[in-house]
Amino acid sequence: MQQGKFNIIIGGQAGSESKGKLSGWLCDRYKPDLLVMTSSPNAGHTVITPEGEKKVSYHLPIGAVMCDCPIVLGPASLINPYILKKEIKDLGIDPNRITLDPRASIITPSHTETEAKGHLSNIGSTLQGIGECRTGKMKRGGNHVFALDYWGEFSKVTGPNIAPTSPIINQALDKDRTVLCETTQGFDLDLEHGIDPIRCTSKMINPAMAMAEAGVSPSLIGNVYGVIRPFPIRVNNRTGSSGDYPGTEEISWQDVARRCNYPGDHEDFGEITTTTKLPRRVFNFSWARFYQFLRICRPTSLCLQFANYIDWNAYRGKDWDKLPSAVVDFVMSLSRQVPVNFIGTGPDHEDMIEIGLIGEGR
């Protein structure tokens, strides 16, 4: 990671690329001085600690469990205070590490109730009140609640500090500190540039947006770690269809299991989403969408997760020289565009291969 720069982890597909695993690896390996996130509880980030504990976050950067630096949640954050309270307890995070911007928004029961009654089930929304809360802030009135206004009750529920976060971030950058921003969701769900203008999220997801939300000049961008997987997924829907993946086709988890020679029962092979607990839909890799991600987000480095889905002989591999040829070939194809510096081969913290170092500093 680059010192004095705003380093970013961003998903290159439609979410669930295992950004949390890379965040945990980077935080454990490089010990950043400050973690930044625009929080919302519509997607979970997961890491398995070196001790084998599974940790899941919804508001906090999950890399926080691997280092003890301060955490800032910026003004565009959307906070469900009761979920955040449980999250702080479950992750064992000292609330004094957390600073929440006073202009962050509070998700109320009316937000989640409105989404549950609306059309969002049809597009695969997690129905956590995100869109309704964000819309309320843009309307500048009505029943919108800022974190600052909610502080009297909010402090009893969570206990983070309430203060403007942009000065904290910029002061760290001015002092040549290492700052890491963990973004949520993935580029293919971007409101303006994603795969579907209807079946998408309610915001833009790219490095420029992450910096704008944090209140940091684009001139201070550091490493951009793009996280992808060989078979991208989409969340499932409760009714109707959650959409296609342009430029490729949907397959089954049994297809993935067969292709990678998974040794277990193929019928049991698959994934469910962290938030909705619904089965994930899975697709062949889309090179067209990958090139669009590169054009708009310009990652300086790639992390390929789930390499074992290409060939199960890569499962929990630790050595680049011992990876199956199919995995090496795919990595080399990606690297013709952007260097692949991280390869995830399994769920555990140590199931990661790091190839070289990027940037200056740590």
Q: What mean pLDDT do residues 261-290 have? A: 88
Query: Are the C-beta atoms of 346 and 308 separated by less than 8 Å?
Result: yes
Residues for the chain: how many in total? 362
Token pair belonging to 162: 């309430």
**In the numeric block, which tokens belong to residue 290?**
């990958």
Q: What pLDDT score does 115 carry?
A: 65
In this predicted structure, what is the pLDDT of residue 289? 96
Average pLDDT over residues 257-278: 87
Residue type, 102: P
DSSP 119-159: SGGGGT---SSHHHHHHHHHHTSTT--BTTTTHHHHHHHT-
**In the chain, pLDDT over 90 holds for what percent of residues?**
62
Residue found by looking up tokens 């950067």 in the block = 61
pLDDT of 124 reads: 47
Interval 16-47: pLDDT, tens = 999 999 999 999 999 999 999 987 776 778 88
Residues 117-171: pLDDT tens digits?
Answer: 655 544 445 667 777 777 777 877 767 888 887 765 555 555 688 999 999 999 9
> Counting Cβ atoms within 10 Å, is residue 127 exposed (0-12), middle (13-18) or buried (19+)?
buried
- The pLDDT value recorded for residue 149 is 79
CA distances from 232 to 216, 253, 256, 306 (A): 31, 11, 11, 10
Q: What b/e string do you get for 240-261 counting C-beta neighbours within 10 Å, with b at 16 or more?
A: eebbebebbeeeebbebbebbe
Residue range 275-288: mean pLDDT, rounded: 86
Who has greater pLDDT, 254 or 127? Answer: 254
What pLDDT is attached to residue 361?
A: 32
The per-residue pLDDT for 121 is 47
**Mean pLDDT, residues 205-211 taken together:** 95
Q: What pLDDT is attached to residue 159?
A: 65
Whole-number percent of the chain with pLDDT over 70: 89
Token representation of residue 356: 């070289």
CA–CA distance, 203 with 40 (Å, rounded to integer): 12
Between 29-33, 51-55, 318-322, the lowest mean confidence (pLDDT) is in 51-55
> According to the model, what pLDDT value does residue 157 have?
53
Across the chain, mean pLDDT equals: 87
Burial label for 55, CB within 10 Å (0-12, 13-18, 19+), is: buried
Which pLDDT score is estimated for 50? Answer: 86
pLDDT of residue 148: 81
pTM of the full structure: 0.89
Q: What's the rounded mean pLDDT across residues 84-99? A: 92
- Token look-up 């889905």 returns 309
Which of 122-136, 191-205, 264-278, 308-322 has the least mean pLDDT? 122-136
- Structural domains in the chain plus CATH codes: 6-354 (3.40.440.10)
Look at 226 and 149; give whichever has higher pLDDT.
226
